[in-house]
Structure formats: C-alpha cells, structure tokens
Amino acid sequence: MKVTQRTVRLGLAEPLRISRSVMAARDAVWLTIEHQGQRGHGEVVASVYYRLDAGAIGRLLRQAAPELVRFPDPESALDALRAGRLPPDGTPPAVTAGIESALLDLVGKCSDVPVHRLLGTLTPPAAATARTIGIVPPRRAGAQARRLARDGFSILKIKAGSPDPEDDLARVRAVRVAAPHARLLLDPNGAWSLRTAEGLLPRFAELEIEAVEQPLAPGDPEALARLAGRSPLPIIADEDAVDHDDARRLAGRVQGINVKLAKCGGVTAALRIAELIAGTATELMLGCLTASTLGIAPAVHLADRARWIDLDGHLLLADDPWTGIGGDDGTVRVSRNPGLGVRPGTRGSGDQP
C-alpha cells in the first residue's frame, strides 16, 4: 500500500462565534491510502481546543505510514486498527479517526461495498441534521433561522455563552419566533457555572429547547451528572465525554452523549460507545468539528444509530472541496456507492493529494 497526504485550508462562509472562540478557517490534512489502483481518503482537521495543528497532524501521519504499508492489504490494516495495534501508541484520536476513515473508504472500494454495509446497515442512512447558529445578534439569528427553516432544516442548534445570559435568551426567542416548528438545541460549550445553569435552564425550557449540550465547564463530570438529574431539560455531555471511559462514567446519568469521531477515535470507537450506552437512559448524539464532506462522511454512515444528528460542519464552509452527503436541504444522506461515497467537488483534487 502507498500512503500520501496533503494539507489544505478550509474557509468558513462566515466566522463562527462560540463561547470560547471565533473561527473563520480551519486547516485540514487529507490522507490517501492506495492499493491495487484504488484510493481511500480520510481527513484530519486541526483544532486549537484539541491542541492539534496541521504540522503535528502531518508528522503523526508520516509516523503512522510505515506501520500502514507493512500490511499486505487494507482489510488486514483495518483489522489491526480495530484491535488497537494500529496506529502507534499515543496517536491522538483525531488522527486515528482519519486513518480509519481512509481504510474504510479503501476497503469499501476494493470490495465494491459502501461503508454502512461494512458496518452492518443495509439501507443507506439518512437523517435530519441540526444546523448551527453562532453567537450573533438576535435579529440576525432570527433571519438565519427563517432562511434555514425555509431551506428544509427542522433542527437548529443555537450557540450560547454570551457574557450576558440575557443575550442568549433573546437570541433563542428570536429563533423560536422565526422558526416556530423547529426543534431547538442549545450549546453553551461549557460557559456556565452551576449557579448560572440552574437559573437559566428553566427559562430555556419555557422556550421549548429540546436539549442542552455541555452547560458546565468541562472537568467535573460528577457536577454535570448531578445537574442532569434535576434539570428541566435533557443534558447532553460533550467536552466531558471524550472516550469510552468517560461514557461509562456518565451512562445512565446524563440524557445524552455527543460522540464526535475526531474526539473518540473514529467509527470503531463510536460504535463501542453506542453499544455501551444502549439500554441506559443515555442516548447517542452524533456531532462533528467544522470539516469538509470528506471529514463528515464517516459519521453519516452511522446516522441511523443516533437520536440527535449534528453533522453540519461541511455546511459552514464557503467552498466544500468534496461532495456526496448532501445536507443543504436539512438532511444528510449516504449513497449506495462503494466506500464513503464521496468525491472531489468543484475545488476538489482529492485523488491527487
């Protein structure tokens, strides 16, 4: 097998403000694994929060390449990854997820099977996805919500965590008026203290918020679990639910866990978490980082397994270099095409890393 990589810049259509930062662009590294004329692709995006820049990603992928090429075929490499023998110990979860994505894509193409069938799902998954509205003035949030509802989005995720909580309430009210039939999720990205959360959650419940992601600062999952036990709204753990061990501690104690492939380590890790929480009072949310269609696609192949789908990272881009999972109409879907089912878009040169 042959391994190559390429670094690209993904610009957002407009800056996205959340409680802890503002993002206008993100670097991504595309990994390509080639075997017998077929190419499998994966994407790893840089993240300040996860302390992973494009240079580090590139070095880590180069370190993993010799391990990959020693396998005779992608099937045996994928088996080794699932068994924990690949990539090298200490590899960040996002990099592992990107390697697994490329292997899944390649195995699917070599066997002429879409990834969702490799994972045991016969029907191509399709699901309504949330669309994010950042921390913007209420009037602008309302205008965005009205446009998104008109385009077909039935779920809107509103970022919160303004210095003045009344701004967040005003933003949600504006969205509720503009999109009265939409399901609304709220995400403060850990910006609230326990006291603030206890004061605000009943007020957001009056606005018919469906669930709240990570209201408390990460680092104290016990406090998050206690809050979830008395909250008038379902609480979804995100930053406090990184991996399988975190999910085990919170299973049955929060109402949801947001699983992001870049956070937990990929499709295999996500499936293990889904199996862990099945049958508990905790339900699965599939989330993502801002990424291209290539980076989002592996999670879409799992979309039939989650209650909440938040896979809109590619929809935030000014120019997505890949295509194949839709989403512009509020629904992400995969096809019956082999592998991930994605292909280079107008910018794309994904087959020429």
Distance (Å, rounded) from C-alpha 209 to C-alpha 333? Answer: 25
Classify residue 326 by its DSSP letter. Answer: B
Q: String of b and e for 312-323 (b: at least 16 CB within 10 Å)?
A: bbbbbbeebbbb
32/353 Cα distance (integer angstroms): 7
Residue count (the chain): 353
Report whether pLDDT(81) > 80.
yes
| Reported confidence tier of residue 199, pLDDT bands at 50, 70, 90 | very high
pLDDT tens digits, 83-107: 999 999 999 999 999 999 999 999 9
d(CA 244, CA 222) in angstroms, rounded, equals 16
Is 121 a residue whose pLDDT tops 90?
A: yes
> Residue 353 above 70 pLDDT?
no
Q: Looking at residues 246-273, what average pLDDT do you find?
A: 98
Q: Please give the average per-residue pLDDT across 268-282, as a whole number.
A: 97
- Separation of alpha carbons 214 and 256, rounded Å: 10
* Predicted pLDDT at 104: 98
For the entire predicted model, the pTM comes to 0.96
Distance CA 283, CA 307 (A): 6
Please state, as a whole number, how many other Cβ atoms lie within 10 Å of the Cβ of residue 254.
28
Q: How far apart are CA 301 and CA 126, in angstroms?
A: 8
How confident is the model over 37-43, as a mean pLDDT?
98
The torsion defined by the Cα of 216, 220, 223 and 227, in degrees rounded to 10, comes to 30
Q: What is the pLDDT of residues 129-179, one digit of tens each?
A: 999 999 999 999 999 999 999 999 999 999 999 999 999 999 999 999 999
- Measured CA to CA, the distance from residue 178 to residue 185 in angstroms comes to 15
Q: What is the mean pLDDT of the chain?
A: 96
CA proximity to 101, closest of 257, 265, 256, 303: 265
Name residue 6's beta-bridge partners. 30
Collapsed DSSP state (helix, strand, coil) of residue 294: helix
